[in-house]
Structure formats: C-alpha cells, structure tokens
C-alpha cells in the first residue's frame, strides 16, 4: 500500500508543477474557430458512482459494472467566448461616410450596409450539451477493459443584440464604388447581413461561410468511442494502482466553417491513442461498511491528424483590432476582394472568407484529463467530491487546399469601375476597419487615392493566410464536482449483485494564465453541468 501512496503523490506533484507552468503568452482574440472539450473526455463523471465496483480485489474470473449517465451542460461567461472570436463582446459597425469614425469600428460597407450606417452589437455566444453516457467495465483478476460511448446533442448559437442608431436607408452607395451606378444597400442591420448570402452590385456571391445564424445550430451524434485496456499491478482491498492503454475512435462531426461557433460533437474527428493511470488508497475505515478513500485517474492521449475545413484570416502588418488590444487581423475575413482574370478585374466581388475557407489537417500534440477525488462509502449512500483538470496543447495546422494565386486582390475602399470600364485598383493593406486613422475627416473616401496600390493589382498569395487565426491555442480548465448515490445489494437476480442510482454536478472554469500576471485567455469554455447516474454491478 505504501507503493500506491507514493504513486499518488508523484502524480499530484507532477500535475501541480504542470498547472503552475501551464501559461501562454500574447493576446488571444480574433479566432475563427473554437474546438470545445468533447463530452466524452470527462474523467470526473466517468469515475464517480461506480468506483466501488471497478478495479476490485477479487477471485472471480469475471466481474464488472454498467452505467447510464444522462447529463446536461450549459456555458456561462459569454463575454469571454465573444472575446475569443472578436477581441471583445461589443463591436461597433459604421459606414465609410460616418464622420469621426473610431479606429476600431468595423466597416459597414463590406456587409452591404449603408455608408452612413451606425450600430453597436452585443455578442453573447452560448453552447448547450445534452448527452447520455453508456459505460461498461469488465474485469478479470487484475486485467480489465473499459468502453465508453457518449451520445451527444450539441446546440450552439451566437446571440446578437444590436442597437441601430442610423440604418442609412436613405444613403446609397455612390456610382463606381460597388457598381457602375449607385445602388441602394440591401440590408439595414448587421444582424441581417452577417446571416450571409446577401448580394448587391458587383457582389454576386454572398457570404456563405463564417456566418452567424439567426437560430441555434444543432448536431446529434455519438461523440466518440473510448476503449481502455489495463492491468492493475497493485490490487488489494485497501487500494489499487494500474496502467492502461487508451484508444478513441471519432464518431462525431467535422468542422465545416459554414457558421461561426458551429456545434461540434466529439473531439473534431481526431483518432486518439495514449495511456492512463488509475489508483486509490483507503485512508479511513469504520466497521465493514464505512470508509474514506482517495482516488486519482490520469489519461494522456495524442490527437492524430484530422481533415477539417476552417476559415482563415490574412496577415496584414498594419491591422488593428476593434477593442484596443493591439491584436492584428481581427475579422479580416469579411473584407471584400476583387476577382481577376489575366490581370483584369472581371466585375465580380466576393467576401474574402469564401476564398479562405479551406481544407486542412489539424493535429494536437497531447490532451491531459486528470482527476483527484475523495470518496466516502457508507451502508446505503456514497459521496464523491473532487477536482478535475483538463489540458489540451495548441493545435498545428497544415492547409491542404491552396488559393488560386493571381486571381483575387483586396478591394478596400477602391472603386470597381473607372467610368470607362472595370477598375483594376486594389488595396493590399485593407483592414476590417477601413484603414481609418481616427482623425476628424468627413468619412473615409478622402483617403481613397492615398491607399490604392501604386502597382495595382496586387494579388493575395497563399503565404498571406494566417494559420494561427483558425488554430486553437493551448486550453486549460479547472473543474470542481460533487456526487451522491444510493446503492442497494440485491439477491433476486443471479448475475446482478448491486444496483445504484445517484446525481451529481460540476462547474468548470477556463484558466490559462495566472491572474496576477495577465488576464485568462479566452480559449476554452466555462460551463456548469448536472447529471444522473444509474447502473448495476455484477
């Protein structure tokens, strides 16, 4: 038993060190994609309830347990999720003819909104998960197999609360700017524009990716199938210690990039392989039916390459963010681009996102899921409470699709027509805020001639793609959980000896930085969860 205690101490020490040093540097905002933690990766919920019926010291050639766990989870702190995508939770949209525009306003013109349009938008992303875990444990002396299959319904949405100060419906786009003639803006709110598929003037192909849906989006799948095969090298009445090999088969959906904050069931369709450690030691006993034990589970897996489709921003050195955080390239995917054929503009505008949403291979080095728990066993009721930590290292992305170079260039504030034909003018330094300098000029068009590329057209290249804009940084969460159950020994069924049913809850916080140094990164979800757990031991 001393060996078990030593192993538990080593695990605790190692992860205490890792937690202390699990910090990233630099601001994290303006991302295009967020991969949540899979509902199947939850060592805390898997351990509670049946820990007394698994990893047993027994002479039986076969024993086991099976449980069903319906659960519901809901995110909170929506402002932090919004900051992950936009750098802040409130953005301002203003047109090119609005005087005294702030340098952090998004340019309304890109979305088909009037040059005099002005609104503020509060962003509230939410994610709900309803799941049912099916969990089986089979033991044979010191060897065992565990199989987990969570069925998951994920529902996500980004609520937009917009206050329109001026819809600009009386101000048209000037002739030559979006078309050869002046045109009336097709929409009068950002909320409507960001839903996508809006066309006007030379923009004959509306936004069809990175949209924000009016309604919640849903996905329903088996999240992933987890299989662990292990050996308890210490197996006693008062404790155990064991190792296992772990394998995860993806059964959920792949990201497509069509919507921002799209619902993802599972881990993004990665195959996983790794190992785990499990152990416990009894620290107090009273009679034959009351005891307190300390438990720990540690699972480490590598996530292999997964083919996904993600949207990428572009790298432009002079970009500024919308919330004064000195972050480059926020939302540059919504800038309009001109299409060219043999160096000549063909009279077609396209949102940049339509061109930079590409197939890619995504890989994550390691994922850690570890739990430390105190468990009380009584004559009729069991209590569990503890801490669960989850760490996922940053993603690396290899873009497998390619831009067709020498075919698109940033439009920016430039016209599409010269009055005598199509205009080849491009603006390679165009930004989402319209290259606003923050001065008191009456709108942006006074800068049109100074911003044009002297050697137009300048085309976008594959090297301009910002891989980091779609890559998840390192994620780290803390979770506290508690659980209580009732168990009953039955003699009526020859192959079932115990029935149990219980309820639990957990609260999880994102945290990738020590607060005394910098604010936490907004790269994972804070959420609460409630669940029921019922099963049998045999």
Phi, psi of 212 (to 5 degrees): -120, 115
Structural domain harbouring 486: 2-537
Determine the Cα–Cα distance for residues 191 and 181; give it in Å rounded to an integer: 26
CB atoms within 10 A of CB 11: 18
Determine the Cα–Cα distance for residues 332 and 316; give it in Å rounded to an integer: 9
537, HSE (Cβ side, Cα atoms, 13 Å): 18
- Three-state DSSP string of 403-431: CCCCCEEECCCCCCECCCCECCCCCCCCC
Structural domains counted in the chain:
1
Tokens of 212: 């924000």
The DSSP element (H or E) to which 232 belongs, if any, is strand 224-236
Q: For position 23, what pLDDT does the model report? A: 39
Tokens of 497: 């000896």
Q: For position 13, what pLDDT does the model report? A: 42
Q: For position 522, what pLDDT does the model report? A: 66
Q: For position 26, what pLDDT does the model report? A: 34
Determine the Cα–Cα distance for residues 55 and 202; give it in Å rounded to an integer: 67
- Spatial contact of 393 and 469, defined as CB atoms under 8 Å apart: no
Tokens of 66: 């099976």
Determine the Cα–Cα distance for residues 454 and 196; give it in Å rounded to an integer: 33
Determine the Cα–Cα distance for residues 12 and 371; give it in Å rounded to an integer: 10
pTM of the predicted protein model: 0.89
CB atoms within 10 A of CB 183: 18
Q: Is 375 helix (H, G, I), strand (E, B) or coil?
A: strand
Q: Whole-angstrom distance between the N-terminal and C-terminal Cα of the chain?
A: 26
- Spatial contact of 111 and 187, defined as CB atoms under 8 Å apart: yes
**pLDDT, tens only, 193-220:** 999 999 999 999 999 999 999 999 999 9
Determine the Cα–Cα distance for residues 39 and 48; give it in Å rounded to an integer: 15
CB atoms within 10 A of CB 476: 25
Q: For position 29, what pLDDT does the model report? A: 56
Q: Which mean pLDDT values do the consecutive 10-residue runs of the chain (538 residues) have?
A: 48 42 43 96 97 90 96 96 91 93 91 97 98 98 97 98 96 97 97 97 97 97 98 95 98 97 98 98 94 98 98 74 54 95 94 98 98 97 98 96 94 96 95 72 72 94 94 95 95 87 96 49 86 97
Q: Is the dihedral of CA 162, 168, 174, 178 positive or negative?
A: positive
CATH code of 489's domain: 2.40.160.40
Tell me which residue of 44, 20, 3 sits closest to 481, measured CA to CA: 44
Q: Which residues contact 239 (CB under 8 A, 6 or more apart)?
A: 1, 4, 279, 280, 281, 282, 293
């Amino acid at each position: 038993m001393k060996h078990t205690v030593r192993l538990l101490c080593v695990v605790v020490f190692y992860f205490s060190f890792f937690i202390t040093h699990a910090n990233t540097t630099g601001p994290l905002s303006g991302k295009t994609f967020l991969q949540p933690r899979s509902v199947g990766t939850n060592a805390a919920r898997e351990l509670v309830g049946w820990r007394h019926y698994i990893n047993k010291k027994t002479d039986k050639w076969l024993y086991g347990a099976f449980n069903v766990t319906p659960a519901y989870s809901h995110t909170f702190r929506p402002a932090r999720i919004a900051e992950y995508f936009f750098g802040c939770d409130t953005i301002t949209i203003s047109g090119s003819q609005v005087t005294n525009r702030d340098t952090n306003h998004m340019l309304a013109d890109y979305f088909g909104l009037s040059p005099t349009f002005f609104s503020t938008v509060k962003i509230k992303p939410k994610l709900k998960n309803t799941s049912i875990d099916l969990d089986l444990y089979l033991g044979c002396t010191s060897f065992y197999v565990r199989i987990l299959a969570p069925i998951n319904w994920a529902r996500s949405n980004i609520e937009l609360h917009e206050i329109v100060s001026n819809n600009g419906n009386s101000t048209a786009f000037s002739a030559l700017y979006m078309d050869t003639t002046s045109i009336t803006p097709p929409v009068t709110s950002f909320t409507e524009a960001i839903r996508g598929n809006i066309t006007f003037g030379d923009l004959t192909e509306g936004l069809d990716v990175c949209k924000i849906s009016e309604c919640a989006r849903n996905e329903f799948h088996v999240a992933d199938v987890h299989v662990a095969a292990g050996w308890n090298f210490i197996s006693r009445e008062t404790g155990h210690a064991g190792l296992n090999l772990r394998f995860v088969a993806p059964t959920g959906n792949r990201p497509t990039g069509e919507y921002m904050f799209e619902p993802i069931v599972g881990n993004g369709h990665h195959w996983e392989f790794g190992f785990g450690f499990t152990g416990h030691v009894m620290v107090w006993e009273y009679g034959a039916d009351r005891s307190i034990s300390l438990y720990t589970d540690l699972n480490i897996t590598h996530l292999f390459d997964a083919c996904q489709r993600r949207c990428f921003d572009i790298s432009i050195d002079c970009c500024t963010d919308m919330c004064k955080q000195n972050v480059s390239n926020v939302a540059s995917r919504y800038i309009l681009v001109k299409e060219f054929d043999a160096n000549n503009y063909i009279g077609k505008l396209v949102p940049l996102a339509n061109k930079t949403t590409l197939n890619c291979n995504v890989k994550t080095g390691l994922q850690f899921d570890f739990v430390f728990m105190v468990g009380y066993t009584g004559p009729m009721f069991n209590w569990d409470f503890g801490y669960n930590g989850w760490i996922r290292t940053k993603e690396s992305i290899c873009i497998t699709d390619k831009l067709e170079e020498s075919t698109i260039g940033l439009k920016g504030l430039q016209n599409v027509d010269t009055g005598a034909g199509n205009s080849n003018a491009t603006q390679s330094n165009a930004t989402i805020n319209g290259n606003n300098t923050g001065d008191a000029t009456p709108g942006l068009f006074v800068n049109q001639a100074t911003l044009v590329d002297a050697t137009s057209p300048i085309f976008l290249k594959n090297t301009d793609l910002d891989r980091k804009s779609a890559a998840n940084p390192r994620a780290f969460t803390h979770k506290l959980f508690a659980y209580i159950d009732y168990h009953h020994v039955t003699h009526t069924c020859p192959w079932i000896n115990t029935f149990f049913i219980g309820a639990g809850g957990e609260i999880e916080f994102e945290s990738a930085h020590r607060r005394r140094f910098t604010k936490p990164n907004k790269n994972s979800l804070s959420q609460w969860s409630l669940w029921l757990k019922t099963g049998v031991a045999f």
